[in-house]
Amino acid sequence: MDFSPGISYLFGRLGKALLSPGSHISLLSLASALLIALFVLAVRRHRRGRRIRLKLLLRALFPRRIVMSRSSLADAGYFYFNLFLFGLIFGWALLSYHTLSRGVDGLLTATFGAMPRAPLPGFVSRSIITVVLFLAYELGYWLNHYLSHRIAFLWEFHKVHHSATVLTPLTNFRVHPIYMCVFLNILAVTVGLANGVGVYLLGQPVSQYGLSETNIILVFFIYGYVHLQHSQLWISLTGWLGHLFMSPAHHQIHHSRNPAHFNKNMGSCLALWDWMFGTLYVPSAEREALDFGVEPDRAHAHTIRGELIAPFGRAAMVLKEYFTKRPRRAPLPAAEQKQAY
């Protein structure tokens, strides 16, 4: 049996994920996150009058209790699993995105007539559509995240992500395939609608500024602090900045087991939508004591059986309970039945 096509596909996917500059997990973005983390720790040690040694800084960033935990090892497995599955699911969502975008543009044109080309320089039009699509991405991310916390059926699949007891950049890949499928299609709807409206108003198809097919604004945040959202490094934005941007501390609050933090901070890069819809929790400047993990001691935690298979059973029980307890319409009296017919 020839395994070379499978091996080629595996290394191709891995190379695209790690070497493409715009990838969500590129080596360049990870290196950027590492440098930022080292800088923050070095500044904090300097302010406390402590010696700054690279070995100590690395030990603080990669403590053995986190690196060797079952949760971290499971995250690595999720990374490889979702890395290859993601390509298949993304293909479906990408198709719906283009179809919806063209449909919205066509519907607006048929209803209101064609718009003249906007008298704007090319770079201005591209900048506008880049900002619009980034905001649409953030809205889709927030909406999917909100629904995944509020709808019991979806929560059973999203709970997989919250089962992590320690946070590392690979925790971002700790997601169930059903959650990923729902997320990408919601994202396709919000971004597709925004792109269709944008193309119509600008009077011409316009491409966003991107790096490796990723929105350039999103890339900026990935290189800035997105990786550090899943880490033990407390970097918080407070005041008006904390109402606009989703700092690492914001997202660590989101993973907290403290009931005061439940269903808070649903955004990806921005806190804007959380602020608008009342789900924002601005962290304090000083580190808050946090514990992570949903039911961390349950049987089969961090296993394929517990995190990939079991959610289907739990979600089915949610549906069964919903339909069992759902009040049924009482039958009409005989006289009314005759009238109804």
Tens of pLDDT, residues 112-128: 999 999 899 999 999 99
In Å, the largest CA–CA distance within the chain is 89
> 245 pairs with which residues across the strands?
270
Provide the pLDDT for residue 341.
27
Amino acid at 98: H
- Is 136:97 a contact under the CB 8 Å cutoff? no
Provide the pLDDT for residue 6.
59
* Extended strands (E) in 172-263: 210-211, 214-215
- Is 159:221 a contact under the CB 8 Å cutoff? no
232: enclosing H helix or E strand: none
- Rounded CA-CA distance 290/230 in Å is 13
Provide the pLDDT for residue 312.
94
Provide the pLDDT for residue 4.
62
- Rounded CA-CA distance 284/48 in Å is 20
Provide the pLDDT for residue 303.
87
Q: What is the dihedral of CA 19, 25, 28, 29, to 10 degrees?
A: 160
Amino acid at 326: R
DSSP state of 256: B
Q: Which residue ranges in the chain fall short of pLDDT 50? A: 330-341
- Which residues neighbour 218 within 8 Å (Cβ) at sequence distance 6 or greater? 134, 137, 269
- Residue that has been written with the tokens 């699911």 in this structure: 89
Break the chain into its structural domains and give their ranges: 15-317
Residue 129 CB neighbours (<10 A) = 22
User: Of 275, 217, 272, 222, which Cα lies nearest the Cα of 248?
Assistant: 222
Provide the pLDDT for residue 326.
63
Provide the pLDDT for residue 302.
87
Provide the pLDDT for residue 92.
57
Residue 125 CB neighbours (<10 A) = 19
Q: Which two tokens stand for residue 38?
A: 């080292």
